[in-house]
Amino acid sequence: MQASSVSFYSSTSMADVRIPLELCELIIDSIRAPPQPWYKRLVGPEHDVHSEMLLHFRACAAVCSAWLPRARRHLYHRIIFKRPSQVELLIRSLTENPFLADIVRELVLSPREYIPFVHATLIKRLRHLHTLVYDLPTLGATKVDWPYPPCYHLLIAQFPLTELAIRYSFGPLASKAWIEMFRLIWSLRSLESLYLELYHAPDLTNVELQRLTAIRRPGACARLKTLVIEGHTMRQCTSCLPVGAFGASVERFSLSWRDGPVPGLISRRVGSGRIVGGAARTPRVRTLLSFAR
């Protein structure tokens, strides 16, 4: 069987030049940023390069029909919703081209308003979606609240998600947002990796902490293996968590904070089950990374 090739014309001699399609695909693949360490995959500034990569992939898709499938594979790997209208556009694309649904692996919500992204068509078609990234909206409020009602988490849990990232670095979270964030985390039965980039934790009252503990579902975070927490006030963050908030199965654990080195405090709380583990189980963390900035 003859190998596929792509024809190009030299700007000087106009001679027909044939390049193997496999080489062209390697060129397209090289645009994607190199893999990040596991503790930086979905937190920090590196996720901002995605917009620039999209421009390059779109340019590749317009080169010729032979380049389109490979470029489209990268374009649809990560879907970003910034406006509600983009949900309908994706649904239309998947309806007209059903094969695109199998390419989608990651969904990023970066809204400035409520986005109803859980749609029956998306739940049915996005069978290979494994990552949800949620950038909490910044609307100039002193404390950000959670835009979705509690029942919405049950709908989100219908996606086959194994990886979740929640990012907000512009101010303190409202107590309600903190509670609803954990309601979402504890609703994802197959969750294996969790990334929290939260720079200001709320001041929970004893009543609010009891309410948070009460909504924790049996078996929550039972499959969680990787936990990354990045923020300013880790002391405050760890004090507003119920015991065993992230289950007892975490094996890779990374903390990054900006309020001074506290390795002794962190180690004691890991060992006591405040962050991972629980009163009746010994945490089995194999990799613990702590960064002070």
Q: Reply yes or no on whether the pLDDT at 13 is more than 50.
A: no
Query: Is 211 part of any domain?
Result: yes
More confident residue, 154 or 276: 154
More confident residue, 4 or 272: 4
Looking up tokens 């613990």, which residue turns up? Answer: 288
What confidence score (pLDDT) does residue 173 get?
Answer: 77
What confidence score (pLDDT) does residue 282 get?
Answer: 45
Query: Is 135 part of any domain?
Result: yes
Query: Is 92 part of any domain?
Result: no
Residues 69 and 199 in one domain: no
- Total domains present in the chain: 2
Ranges 113-122, 125-134, 180-189: which has the least confidence: 113-122
Query: Is 118 part of any domain?
Result: no
The model scores a pTM over 0.85: no
Question: Looking at this protein, which amino acid is placed at residue 220?
Answer: A
Band (221; pLDDT cuts 50, 70, 90): very high
What are 22-74's pLDDT values in tens digits?
888 898 888 887 888 888 888 766 555 677 788 888 888 888 888 889 999 99
Query: Is 100 part of any domain?
Result: no
Domain that holds residue 23: 19-29+36-75
Residues 195 and 60 in one domain: no
Residues 57 and 191 in one domain: no
What are 124-181's pLDDT values in tens digits?
999 999 999 998 765 555 556 787 888 888 899 999 999 999 988 666 778 888 899 9
Q: Reply yes or no on whether the pLDDT at 261 is more than 50.
A: yes
**Mean of the per-residue pLDDT values for the chain?**
79
Among 45, 75, 105, the domain boundary falls at 75
In degrees, rounded to 5, the angle at the alpha carbon of residue 200 between the alpha carbons of residues 194 and 46 is 50
Residues 68 and 136 in one domain: no
Band (198; pLDDT cuts 50, 70, 90): confident
What confidence score (pLDDT) does residue 12 get?
Answer: 46
Query: Is 13 part of any domain?
Result: no
Q: What is the mean pLDDT of residues 210-224?
A: 91
Q: Reply yes or no on whether the pLDDT at 187 is more than 90.
A: yes
